[in-house]
Amino acid sequence: MSQLEVLSARSPVDFDFEILSCSPSSPSAFSHSYQEKIITKSFISSSAIIHSTLKDTDTHEIDEEIFPGLPPLHHGHPNVHLRNGVIKALELSAQGEPDAEKAFFVGDLSYIYQQHMRWRKNLPEVQPFYAIKCHPDPYVLRLLAALGAGFDCASNGEISQVLALGVDPSRVIFANPCKASSFIRQSAKAGVEMMTFDNTDELYKVARIYPGAKLVIRILTDDSKSLCRLGLKFGAPLVTVPALLCKARELNLDVIGVSFHVGSGCYDATAFSDAVMRARATFDMGKDAGYDFQLLDVGGGFEDDTFETTASVLRNAIEQYFPERENLRIIAEPGRYYVAKAFSLAANIIARRAPPQADSGSQDVDMDPEQPSVMYYINDGVYGAFNCILFDHQSPQPYVLSLNGSFHVPSSVPLRASSVWGPTCDSMDCVCPITQLPSTLEVGDWLGFDNMGAYTACAASQFNGFEVSNAIYTTGGGHLSAEVRKVLKAFAAAA
């Protein structure tokens, strides 16, 4: 069996040495995920080893183009492609290519596939409608569409993006309670019937523009224990629901069900139980208003680390409050659950700023170990992929991909308190205010960042003229890679 095949995605294995973790709070937090068996002394030697290892795999599907116009699909563990990307950057730099050291993502489609199988195992009654806003990546959308997922869209642009793939309009919910009139009109033309509302004005708009819409009333829930609280902007308090439903009935509109959202990144599973209880009350209010609801949308907020616990709480709540559900369709709007850990980012150190004593090489110089003494500047920042720091309350921590022209980073390398900054001329562009990094890091070395799939590339800008980072895609290794490719090829053929 080849080395790549034993590097199963996201699984700890026994490696020969550690890739250095740089988290100030947990020095060994990344040690298992980023150790390697391919020991290298230089980028050139590692390039030969990586390519020879790839040849040993039992697949001919390397660099395969399934969808015209999209990047090719690679095979193998994502860590290998992080290193391959670094090697490629070195080659381009030697050729004088502009922006040769550009930062880049590596997306592991096999991880998304595994997350979908995990969803089906734990929530078999709930159909996921992927929240496109989280990461509208073309491969992510195609894979989830091929796996039978629906899509949560918030704009005409997102709806068009999904329907262009051949997705049936019945697999789309326009889950924005406050929509532009022109967007509602386009929805009607596209045949997208399901859409949410939480106020009277929205009912008047829909009655005037799209009276045949299938409406879903979005109720307010307790989102106080979530990363991003959506109740500040959306959701009808239960006390207002009877009047809203009466107005909908008066306007002869078809309300088919109830939706809620406990907030993005919910870390308390009991919030789902409370929300389902409120939804039950709303179903009863619907009967009083003359409706027979047949849809329950449990929204998003699903976290990878707590998914099994959340799924258990949600299943129990549905069983308790909706014991009779033969005619009940249940959907959800997961986003970060699918993609957060599917993408990593590699960024190049383009500049370094340090006081003379830090450059002396001595570890005995008089510097406060709790204060950053060296500033590293990388070629992506908060106006690019790291906008998740500002908009999604994330705190990305770097680890070392390459050190002084080698992927081999011994654990004995001395560390120094450092800060990491983005490339723009804005002082707000700080990626990491303090972290422990090797004192021997140089311009040209590379840092890696994990969990960069959710709310990163989707909100990146080209502020200051810096381009958005591109992505390299892999379908993982072994039988799972073949399974992902099989699904994508079938979808491409059908389209």
Average pLDDT, stretch 99-125?
97
**What separation in angstroms does the CA of 462 have from each of 98, 295, 465?**
17, 41, 5
pLDDT category of residue 41 using cuts at 50, 70 and 90: very low
Average pLDDT, stretch 193-214?
97
Question: Could you tell me which residues come within 8 angstroms of residue 99 by beta carbon, excluding any fewer than 6 positions away?
Answer: 467
Domain with CATH 2.40.37.10 in the chain: 15-63+71-77+86-107+340-478
Q: What is the DSSP letter of 326?
A: T
Lowest mean pLDDT, pick from 2-6, 246-250, 302-306, 310-314: 2-6
Concerning whether 425 is annotated as a catalytic residue, the answer is: yes
pTM of the model: 0.85
Average pLDDT, the chain: 84
Q: pLDDT value at position 294?
A: 97
Q: pLDDT value at position 30?
A: 33
pLDDT category of residue 233 using cuts at 50, 70 and 90: low
pLDDT category of residue 359 using cuts at 50, 70 and 90: low
Candidates 266, 425, 430, 458; catalytic one: 425
The SS3 of residue 466 is coil
CB 374, CB 397: distance < 8 Å: no
Q: What is the pLDDT of residues 439-482, one digit of tens each?
A: 889 999 999 999 999 999 888 878 888 888 999 999 998 889 99
Q: What is the pLDDT of residues 368-400, one digit of tens each?
A: 667 888 999 999 999 989 998 888 788 899 999
Q: Say yes or no to pLDDT of 298 above 90.
A: yes
Lowest mean pLDDT, pick from 105-114, 310-319, 368-377, 423-432: 368-377
Q: pLDDT value at position 392?
A: 76
Fold of 15-63+71-77+86-107+340-478: Lyase, Ornithine Decarboxylase; Chain A, domain 1 (2.40.37)
Both structure tokens of 114:
């595994």
What is the identity of the amino acid at 131?
A: A
Q: Say yes or no to pLDDT of 36 above 70.
A: no
Q: How far is CA 107 from the centre of its chain?
A: 10
The percentage of residues in the chain with a pLDDT greater than 70, rounded to a whole number, is 81
Q: What angle do CA 123, 226, 121 make, to 5 degrees?
A: 10
Average pLDDT, stretch 26-54?
37
Domain with CATH 3.20.20.10 in the chain: 110-338
Pick the CATH number of 110-338 from 3.20.20.10, 3.90.1150.10, 3.30.300.30, 3.50.50.60: 3.20.20.10
What is the identity of the amino acid at 120?
A: R
Among 227-236, 327-336, 379-388, the range of highest mean pLDDT: 327-336
Among 4-13, 171-180, 407-416, the range of highest mean pLDDT: 171-180
Q: What angle do CA 272, 158, 172 make, to 5 degrees?
A: 55
